[in-house]
Amino acid sequence: MKVEGKHIRSIWLEPDGWSVSAIDQRRLPHEFVVARLKTCDAAADAIRSMLVRGAPLIGATAAYGIALAMRADGSDAALDSACKMLIATRPTAINLKWALDDMRSTLRHLPPSARAEAAYRRAGEIAEDDIAINTGIGRHGFALIEAIVAAKKPGERVNVLTHCNAGWLATVDWGTATAPIYLAHDRGHAVHVWVDETRPRNQGASLTAWELGHHGVPHTVIPDNTGGHLMQHGMVDLVIVGTDRVTAKGDVCNKIGTYLKALAAHDNGIPFYVALPSPTIDFGVDDGIRQIPIEQRAVDEVTTMTGRTADGRIETVRVVPDGSPVANYGFDVTPARLVTGLITERGVIRADRAALAAAFPERVAAAAE
C-alpha cells in the first residue's frame, strides 16, 4: 500500500538478491525505519522482538530466514537448527509453523548446494501468494461492505470496527481485515474505521491508524473499551478482525480483546467477521480455548508506555505502581458460535467444521498425513 504516495510492502528482497528488508514496526508511527536482515538469527530476532509482527508477515519472514540460513550453510544440520530457532520465536500464530513446514518440505529432498536458490525462490512465492490471497479476501469482503451500503441509505458511510493491526503491515501487502476496506475506499465508497487502540502494544493506535492515514482512509482511534458503547448506539455496521489461528471447527484466536468485541457484537446483533488467509487455518487443532498456546509477553509492555514528547523525543514512562503484579496475555479465543463468517480467499464461509473442510479439502488431507 502507499506511504507518502509511494507503494511499499512490509518486507522485500533487496536488489542484491540475498538480503531482506523489512519496515521496523517497533518505531512506527513516529519514525519510518527500514531494517536490513542478513542472517537467519536476524530474521528470528526480528520476529521475537516484533520488529515484524502479524501472522502472515511472521510466516513470510521465517521463510526468508530459512533462505538466509541456507545461503550460509545448506546442510541438513543447518536446516534443522534454523527451523528450531525460528519456530521458538512466537507460539500462537500458526503461519509460522505453516511456512517452516513448507520450506522444509521444499528443501529437504534437494542437495545442500541447491537449497539456497530454492529457498529464496520459495520464500518469494510465499510472499507473492500472501498478496494474491489478500486480494481475494479483499474482493469477497468488499461484497459484504457493498451489501451493507445497499441496505443503508445511499451515500451514508459504512462504519467498520477493527482490533489490533490486521492491515498491510501485518501481511506482505493489503492486509486481511483491511483488504476489503482499502478496496471499498479505492472504489469510492464512504468507509470509516473505528480503530481499537489495542493495549498493551497499541498496534491499532500505532500501526492501523498509521496505515489508514497514509492511504487516506477515514478512521477514528478509540480506547479498547469503547466498542460496546458504539455498538449500542448504532455506530458500528460490522466488525472485521484478523486472526493468528483458526481451528478446524472455526474457533478464532486473535489479539487479546477480540473475544470481548465478539460478545458485544453478538449482544447488539452486529455482524462479526474474521478475515483469514488459508495458511492461518490449523486443521490439527479443534478446540481453540484448550489447545492453542497463548503467548504471554514481558510485563513491561503493560507497566510502561512509549511515545513522542512535545519536543520530539521518544520516551518510555511507567504507568503502573511499582510492585503491582501484572499479567500480559497476548491473544484470546473467540468461539466459532460468535463468528458471523470467515472471509477467506475462496469466499465468505461459515465458521464451522463442514464449511472449512469443504473450502480447503487439500489442507484437511495434508493435516491427516
> What residues line the site for ligand MRU (CB under 6 A)?
53-56, 93, 164, 166, 170-171, 176, 203, 242-244, 254-255, 330
CA distances from 114 to 84, 109, 111, 207, 351 (A): 21, 10, 6, 38, 41
- The strand pairing partners of 332, in sequence order, are 254
196 catalytic per annotation: no
Q: Give whichever of 149 and 333 is closer to ligand MRU, judged by the CB atom.
A: 333
Is the CB of 106 or the CB of 344 nearer to ligand MRU? 344
Which residue number, 12 or 110, has a Cβ lying nearer to ligand MRU?
12
Q: Judged by CB, which is closer to ligand MRU: 123, or 253?
A: 253
Quote the distance between the C-alpha of residue 309 and its chain's center.
29
- What is the closest distance, in whole angstroms, from the C-beta atom of residue 55 to ligand MRU in the complex? 4
User: CB of 59: closest distance to ligand MRU in angstroms?
Assistant: 10
We find the least distance from the C-beta atom of residue 70 to ligand MRU, in angstroms, to be 25
Under 8 Å CB-to-CB from 316, ≥6 apart: which residues? 304, 305, 306
Give the shortest CB-24-to-ligand MRU separation in angstroms. 14
Give CA angle at 253 (272, 220), nearest 5°.
50
- Intra-chain end-to-end CA distance of the chain, in Å: 38
Catalytic residue among 102, 173, 196, 244: 244
C-beta separation of 250 from 356 below 8 A: yes
Residue closest to ligand MRU (Cβ): 242
By C-beta, is 26 or 189 nearer to ligand MRU? Answer: 26
Helix axes 55-72, 112-151, angle to 10 degrees: 170
Please report how close the Cβ of residue 42 comes to ligand MRU at its closest, in angstroms. 18
Checking phi first, is residue 257 left (phi over 0); if not, alpha (psi -120 to 50) or beta? left
Pairing of the two strands 245-247 and 191-196: unpaired
Q: Is 263 left (phi over 0), alpha (psi -120 to 50) or beta?
A: alpha
Distance CA 102, CA 114 (A): 16
* Catalytic (active-site) positions: 244
